[in-house]
Amino acid sequence: MRSLYIIIFLFLCGGLFSQEVVTGLQFNPVVKAQFLKDKMLKSGNGEDTIPITLPFFDDFSSNSVFPSSLRWIDRYGFVNNDYAKYYPIDRGVVTLDAINDTGSMYPNAVGGPDAFIADHLTSRYLRLDSAFSPVPRSLSPSDSVYLSFYYQPQGWGLPPHASDSLVLQFLLEPKHDSFSPVDTTHIADRWRHIWSSRGMAWDSIPTPNDHYFIRVMIPITDTTFFKKKFRIQFYNYVSLASSGQPSWQSNCSQWNIDQIYLNYGRNLHDTIHREIRFVERPPSLLKYYQSMPYTQFSNNPSNEMIDSLSMVLTNRDLIAHSVKYSYLVTQPGGNFTKSYETPSINLLPYNQYASGYVTHPPVAFTFPISSADSGLFEVKYVVRDLIPGSTLADTIIGYQKFYNYYAYDDGTPEAGYGLKGTGAQMAYRFKLNKSPDTLRAIRIYFNHVLDKSNIQFFYLTVWNDNSGFPGDTIYSSLVLPQYSDTLNKFTQYLLEKPVRISSTFYIGTVQTTDDNLNIGFDTNDNSTANLFYNVTGSWIASSTPITGAPMVRPVIGKPLPLGIANVTSGKGSMKVYPNPCSTGKVNITIDESETLKNKENWSISISGLTGQWLYHSQESDVVDVSGLPSGIYIIEARNTKTLQHLVSKLVIMK
């Protein structure tokens, strides 16, 4: 599973030979981080112990990554609040796609039209033989047992192909062993196909009364299923589009599922689960950024604060409810407090709104001005029913961050952004309140791509401003992309020399190949008004119809602490000679006075321009390259202890 998106690509506006490209992802950093954490704690997929009783319900609103082991036995689905598009049923869905429980694309994912089975979402054993409230009794088809759920294809990802599908099946017979006097036969689970939906885009949903989700109601009438060990299982078929550009290949075929509910005593019109909830994640209280340097904020706080929030509420009852919404802002460890409460709101049932009830509480304050390097504020949002004794309520918590970087994005990629064309340039605009300042580093999140096809040299570049467009180049350095396996762990490029910046500046990339660098793209935030590209000699404002925020962040202010993880081009720290090489042997030395403490912590790898490893070993003074043909290669030195990553080109001439 793991939610993000298959290897289909969208060609979006651009020039004849170069253009903007938006793709899905081939890797999920959130899932990878949780997988590694669970592996360390030695926790994984669940197993049944005691079958659970009805009612069975999950709305995936908990702050988890994998489905709860209290209800599900596998962890291929991805629980999230980012991928459902436009007015979800409530906060949180489970997403099925082509990424597995380790956060990576399934190993059998290859380009081509054939579909393969990817994610599974399998319930624990369910007691469909008996009811236990108010007194124990047997269940039968006459008890009107229904399974219901909502689903949405695509969401903020890329749409499932027409040959893809979402499938539901019921367990006919559990796995067991069959014994004979001479042998034991292992019998696998037997399932019956119950329901399926073909692949489609979200705007092809045929039931507008349910907004952008489709409701499914399935009566269970076959006595075969009324047993002690009953299961439901969802799974999806995925097909990967082949592509002449490997750097575009990524994941799609995304299905979002919500409010899975199985119980007796229901009917076809029993579609309501009474609740009053927030629908979306907490917003930023800043007008332009998700995060910004505290020193820059403090120089003009009133200009940086948002005027009002946009909060979407949902009432899943059949009747209107009078509710109140409030927020409370506090500073952990400090004494700053601000609060607001709305007057009473008449919240109608959710299906009487075209896109949810949206409240816009004012933000009539600013965060305190400070000379501190950083700041953190907690924002708690509460909505509650005003009927005395009612338990209908919801609470969500967000954080406003002030660190040493600017961020338009929220740290989670839903897709990938890049340009097509050798020499294509991408520039991202940022504005200072306190000028001048010092640019120390640039952070970029790169998506994993099949076969590492986006690991191509590019020029990390900084421009000044020219009447609202990038102007003169004031910094440029040849570097390589690097993958991160953890949420919010960007590749950080420490600038070889700090760059003085004033007023408005731009950071970005200049490509050396035709490959898409595939930078993380946050589709929940929109900063395309500050995004520019240049493919023909003139800068053009971004015109991609899929709005979002490329995950590129400038780090400014004071010098960075020593020892912080960083990627460099290797200048002055790794020496490769002779280069060009015609002798068959290359000498590689690392400046121990700067980077090398323990020689055994280093490894050396050589790869071609496609990213495929051709040589890998512990650090050595001499490497035999006689088996490599003439051409251009990339040498990388990595330190497993300090995370230092050094890169150099190698030219072999025979």
Q: For the structural domain made of 282-402, what CATH number should be given?
A: 2.60.40
pLDDT mean over 182-192: 85
Task: Give the mean pLDDT of the chain.
Answer: 83
Kindly give the pairing relationship between strand 190-198 and strand 165-173: antiparallel
Percent of the chain with pLDDT over 70: 81
Q: For 228-282, what is each residue's pLDDT tens digit?
A: 999 999 999 988 755 544 444 455 678 999 999 999 999 998 888 899 999 888 9
Burial group, residue 372, by CB count within 10 angstroms (0-12, 13-18, 19+): exposed
pLDDT at 34: 55
Kindly give the pairing relationship between strand 184-187 and strand 146-153: unpaired
pLDDT at 321: 95
pLDDT at 5: 30
- Residue 308 CB neighbour total at 10 angstroms: 11
Q: How far apart are CA 137 and CA 143, in angstroms?
A: 11
Q: Which residue ranges does the chain devote to CATH 2.60.120.260? A: 9-263
pLDDT at 186 over 60: yes
Sheet with 631-639, side-by-side order of all strands: 613-618, 602-607, 631-639, 645-652
pLDDT at 6: 26
Q: Which residue ranges does the chain devote to CATH 2.60.40.10? A: 574-652
pLDDT at 557: 93
pLDDT mean over 633-643: 72
Q: How far apart are CA 402 and CA 404, in angstroms?
A: 7
- Residue 60 CB neighbour total at 10 angstroms: 26
pLDDT at 484: 64
Confidence band (pLDDT; 50, 70, 90) for 162? confident
pLDDT at 563 over 80: no
Closest by CA position to 493, among listed 533, 552, 436, 449:
552
Q: How far apart are CA 68 and CA 82, in angstroms?
A: 18
pLDDT at 400 over 90: yes
Confidence band (pLDDT; 50, 70, 90) for 32? low
Q: How far apart are CA 332 and CA 437, in angstroms?
A: 28
Based on its alpha-carbon atoms, the radius of gyration of the chain, rounded to whole angstroms, reads: 27
pLDDT at 43: 46
Q: For 78-105, what is each residue's pLDDT tens digit?
A: 998 888 887 678 888 999 988 887 767 7
pLDDT mean over 362-380: 93
Confidence band (pLDDT; 50, 70, 90) for 9? very low
pLDDT mean over 466-476: 96
Q: How far apart are CA 592 and CA 201, in angstroms?
A: 55
Residue 257 and residue 96 in contact, taking contact as beta carbons nearer than 8 Å: yes
Give the distance from CA 239 to its chain's centroid: 21
pLDDT at 446: 87
pLDDT at 539 over 90: yes
pLDDT at 518: 85
pLDDT at 10: 32
Q: At which residue do the structure tokens 């910094």 appear? A: 475
Q: For 607-626, what is each residue's pLDDT tens digit?
A: 775 556 678 777 667 888 88
Q: Is the pTM of this model over 0.85?
A: no
pLDDT at 373: 80
What is the enclosing helix (H) or strand (E) of 96? Answer: strand 93-96
Q: What is the 3-state secondary structure (H, E, C) of 490-507?
A: CEEEEEEEEEEECCEEEE
pLDDT mean over 14-28: 51
Q: For 122-157, what is each residue's pLDDT tens digit?
A: 999 999 999 998 899 999 999 999 999 999 998 877
Residue 604 and residue 643 in contact, taking contact as beta carbons nearer than 8 Å: no
Render 248-284 in DSSP notation, one character per residue.
G--B---EEEEEEEEESS--TT------EEE-SPPPP
pLDDT at 609: 59
pLDDT at 478: 85
pLDDT at 568 over 60: no
Collapsing DSSP states into helix, strand and coil, what is residue 532?
Answer: strand
Closest by CA position to 97, among listed 159, 170, 141, 34:
159
Q: How far apart are CA 3 and CA 84, in angstroms?
A: 11
Asked whether the CA dihedral 53, 54, 58, 62 is positive or negative, the reply is negative
pLDDT at 1: 35
Task: Tell me which range, 347-356, 447-456, 498-507, is most confidently predicted by mean pLDDT.
Answer: 498-507
pLDDT at 119: 93
Collapsing DSSP states into helix, strand and coil, what is residue 638?
Answer: strand
pLDDT at 4 over 50: no
pLDDT at 196 over 70: yes
Percent of the chain with pLDDT over 90: 47
Instruction: Extract the tokens encoding 646.
Output: 């050094």
Stronger pLDDT, 485 or 222, i.e. the higher one: 222
Confidence band (pLDDT; 50, 70, 90) for 505? very high
Residue 584 and residue 537 in contact, taking contact as beta carbons nearer than 8 Å: no
Does the domain formed by 9-263 have CATH 1.25.40.390?
no
What is the enclosing helix (H) or strand (E) of 21? Answer: strand 19-23
Sheet with 491-501, side-by-side order of all strands: 491-501, 437-444, 552-556
- Looking at the DSSP bridge assignments, the partners of residue 139 are none
- Looking at the DSSP bridge assignments, the partners of residue 458 are 479, 511
pLDDT at 606 over 90: no
Q: How far apart are CA 460 and CA 553, in angstroms?
A: 12
pLDDT at 597 over 80: no
pLDDT mean over 405-429: 90
Q: For the structural domain made of 415-556, what CATH number should be given?
A: 2.60.120
What is the enclosing helix (H) or strand (E) of 171? Answer: strand 165-173
pLDDT at 12 over 50: no
* Of the options 3.10.310.30, 2.60.40.10, 3.40.228.10, 3.40.50.300, the CATH number for the domain spanning 574-652: 2.60.40.10
pLDDT at 136: 93
